[in-house]
Amino acid sequence: MSEQSVKMVVWMRMARFVDKVVVVTGAARGIGFASAQRFAVEGATVCLADVDEDRLEAAVAVLAEAGHTVDAATVDVSGEAAVEAAINGFGERHGGIDVVHAHAGVLLPAAVGDETLDRWERTLSVNVTGVFLTVRAALPQLRRRGGGAVVLTGSTAGIVAEPEFLAYCTSKAAVNHMARQLALDLVGDGIRVNAVCPGWIDTMFNDQFIAGMSAAEVATAVSDLVPMGRQGSADEVAAAVAFLASDDASYITGHTLVVDGGITIR
């Protein structure tokens, strides 16, 4: 049995999301897809949202072929009407929503002197406004189920500054703090809100930075940056997302959980 198959068996035995409806934005690849898959294997009905229609269809096919209950909507989270339509559709089709993982985001690196207003506004509209719109749209559906859990995807870039990442770092600092604000505002509704903060994770998100580098060069760069000496996996972040969304974290709200191999301890 492969290592991945063993993991799947373990997750199925946990089954923390049976009869739960979970929405994941940015779900077509990387951490978003790994989180959707984790929720599905643990018994959830998963509702995938992503701007990339082709990748979204492929992600849905993988989950459906494995026998999971899955729904999907192609949506740009920066659009108010589109987000509300997608979230309301999920809620109406499945009788409400129990968990929201607001993961969709973009990374357009630039220092202040090279930043353009269009790139700056696109970053904030997806990474910050998109999270706000997703959570706001889901609120009636979460209340419909008597409460629930929200997990935002922040970043270590919202904790420590990184050169030439002005818009991204600013946006993720906002998301990290938004988790605290939402937690305070929604606690009376029985809704917990937390953020997961990935560091250097081995996904396509980083391709623009390692293009042209050899495997050895990437390994050296990671070793110099990460105390644990390796990149994290999307599955490792998904495990943290699932924990924060589950009843195992029933007394945790307003927290930013760092998954970074030790980057932020230096």
Q: What CATH number has the domain bearing residue 176?
A: 3.40.50.720
263 is a domain residue? no
pTM of structure: 0.93
Percent of the chain beyond pLDDT 70?
94
3-state secondary structure of 49: strand
pLDDT digits (tens, 9 = 90+) for 142-187: 999 999 999 999 999 999 998 999 999 999 999 999 999 999 999 9
pLDDT digits (tens, 9 = 90+) for 189-226: 999 999 999 999 988 766 666 766 787 888 888 888 89
Q: Is 109 left (phi over 0), alpha (psi -120 to 50) or beta?
A: beta
Domain tally, the chain:
1
**93 pLDDT above the threshold of 90:** yes
Q: Which of 250, 251, 242, 239 is nearest to 259 (CA)?
A: 239
User: Is 168 annotated in the active site?
Assistant: yes
**71 pLDDT above the threshold of 80:** yes
- The residue written with tokens 């209950």 in the block is 69
Q: What is the pLDDT of residue 266?
A: 83
- Phi, psi of 23, deg, nearest 5: -105, 130
> Residue 43 sits in which domain range?
15-258
* Residue in 168, 176, 183, 198 annotated catalytic: 168
104 is a domain residue? yes
Sheet with strand 148-153: strands edge to edge: 70-74, 45-50, 21-25, 99-102, 148-153, 191-198, 256-259
27 is a domain residue? yes
264 is a domain residue? no
Q: Cβ-count burial of 39 within 10 angstroms (0-12 exposed, 13-18 middle, 19+ buried)?
A: buried
6 is a domain residue? no
Q: pLDDT-based confidence at 123, cuts 50/70/90? A: very high
265 is a domain residue? no
203 is a domain residue? yes
4 is a domain residue? no
Q: pLDDT-based confidence at 257, cuts 50/70/90? A: very high
